[in-house]
Amino acid sequence: MTSPAPVARRDPKSTVLHGQTLSDDFGWLRDKNSPEVIAYLEAENAYTAQAMSGTEGLQAKLYSEMLSHIKETDESVPYPYQGWWYSTRTVEGSQYAIHCRRKAAGKEIDEADAEVVLLDVNKLAEGHAFMSLGGMAVSPDGWLLAYTTDATGFRQYTLHLRDLRTGEDLPDTAERVGSMTWAADGRTLFYTTEDEQTKRQDKLWRHIVGQSKEADTPAYEEADERFNLGVGRTRDGKFILLEAGSHTTSEARFLDASAPEQDFRVLAPRVEEQEYSVDHRGGLFYIRVNDIGKNFRVVTAPVDSPGREHWTEFLPEVQDAPLEDFDLFQSFCVCSRRRAGLTTLEVLPFVEGTRLGAASEIAFPEPAYTAAGHVNREFETTTFRYSYQSLVSPASVYRYDVSTGESTLLKEQEIPGKFDRARYGSERIWITAQDGTRVPVSLVYRRDHFAKDGSNPLYVYGYGSYGYPLPIGFSATRLSLLDRGLVLAYAHIRGGGEMGDLWHDAGKMMVKRNTFSDFVEVTEALVEQRYGHRERVAIEGGSAGGLLMGAVVNLRPDLFRAVLSHVPFVDVMNTMLDASLPLTVAEYEEWGNPNEAEAFAYMRSYSPYDNLQAGAYPAMLVKTSLNDSQVMYWEPAKYVAKLRRLKTDHTPLLLHVNMDAGHGGASGRYDYLKEIAFDYAFLLQELGMQE
């Protein structure tokens, strides 16, 4: 006999602001230390397990399929840095990666050289249900390793120092560490730490190897709650850079890496709504900046006088090609631009001093793909490494020779299990929204299972926030859906970064609803164009993409058959009105500040939790983690509790809480595969494809 779904008790609370009342019956679920809260979450997990009973065989089959397409023992392409070749490898049966290096004897790696294990994350994970490696930084002499770990999923990292000659960790440590970098002396480590309440990286510290944490000296503190700190070094190693950045504004400070005891200098004081990033070459700072336009340009400035009054344009802004990234080397630079939503890579050699030669664009063959620079640590080099993948082509790493213009394949991800890319097709189409905006959509399907006749189940994925371009990458796990006839669509909706900052601006703050209407209109158009069956549409999104899921389901519950929502940001009003929560104040620049009446009214108009109504809803699997530090577990828990009282149909409404993880779910690669198998089993069951 099927047990009834858990019903959370109501404890009505009201908040009155701007003459409007917000009602919340389930705020009590915020108390993570309450036995009642834990009991409720465990009851939801038990109910979900019960609802999914009968799919165990399908889950096992999906897991086996996905595992069959993964080369379990594998190694990344080694990259050179400071006299060593660094790589990461995995071993069959092990959950985590092993980070290694070999001594560099020349320009090519010698496999006969002994491998040195820097970090075996499997060993770090012993005794822990969760383990995440944050960052790694090797000292300039190559014999000290700074690294950070998180054993809870709360993204709260602890700093460790390891002596690579002995393999032993030193007593040096610090808590709540974010970024870190070494000074040139190899004894001074700069690192940032977060504020305990808001998890904002707000302090920079100077540590001398061998000293206690108490002896560390503060190097900078950021007072503005919108800004986070990050520290690093220029590629040539000459300067340490400290960046303070909000969602819309940034400011850089610099310090000679050979004089770590000195104070940081401001490069150019922050200007609201202006962002810039910095690198160095030959006594000049090269600065990518959006001071005269949203598409960014590059300017140079002398180290001794780097302020805006001394800036000289190096690369102009291009109106139809936003400059997404700028990589600087001794003899060339690389511009990563967005053209029609896709990445292009332009290589420009230096021919005399700062004068550039003719640009060479690296060509890519497919209609939808992702390309980017790939671990280019060395400044003095004549080659550039880049990665390439598409919806049907596995991830590859290439080496581009700047002098010849030739690309050499270093490695393509091996996909075992009789994978044949020719079986799969990919398309790039454009959907025109009601306001005339053209929205790109990337599609993939198995050719022999697809007919453009409206018969296929359709799966649409979206995000659309923070200016983040939705990657168009290969997924071995996705083959299990394609091989069953699903058509997968990736909607590059406004609010993302596919067309640069202007595309982001068109889907945030007081025009955020464009993100949701784009997704609805893309889905409708795909059905109308017969890419999928109207009654077999599944959708997925996570985090801010979970907000998207909640918003579009409220707008058009009839359009979707099944919804998979990961760590969804659905309680917009309560979260954004609580400045004590991590991220809230900084997020005002993405969503708006609800303490302002106009922003309050607009945000309330789309907040999923606040706009739930009595009625029929699609089948939904909502997933969260107890230790999530970005979207707190109680948002999806409250959302499900409220929806369960309002929905009038009998479609499944399931909440699954990972009690040992954070925002990204399980940390082990096999555990993560099992989570995906669970998700896919839910989708296939709801689409009538249980086999």
Residues with a catalytic annotation lie at: 543, 628, 663
DSSP-H helix ranges across 283-354: none
The beta-carbon contacts of 161-165 under 8 Å, at least 24 apart in sequence, are 161/189, 161/209, 162/118, 162/119, 164/116, 164/118, 164/138
Which residue from 607, 541, 550, 545 is spatially nearest to 575, judged by alpha carbons? 607
CB atoms within 10 A of CB 315: 20
- Give the pair of three-digit tokens for residue 678: 């669970």
Residue 493 burial class via C-beta count within 10 angstroms: exposed 0-12, middle 13-18, buried 19 and up: buried
* Sheet strand arrangement including 407-412: 369-373, 383-390, 396-401, 407-412
Grouping H, G, I as helix, E, B as strand and the rest as coil, residue 470 is: coil
Query: H/E element holding 586?
Result: helix 584-591
Contacts of 599 (CB under 8 A, 6+ apart): 509, 510, 591, 592, 593
For the four alpha carbons of 442, 448, 449 and 450, in that order, the dihedral sign comes to positive
CA angle at 613 for the pair 607 and 619, rounded to the nearest 5°: 90
* Rg from Cα positions in the chain: 26
* Sheet strand arrangement including 438-446: 424-432, 438-446, 487-491, 458-462, 537-542, 562-566, 619-625, 653-658
Grouping H, G, I as helix, E, B as strand and the rest as coil, residue 357 is: coil
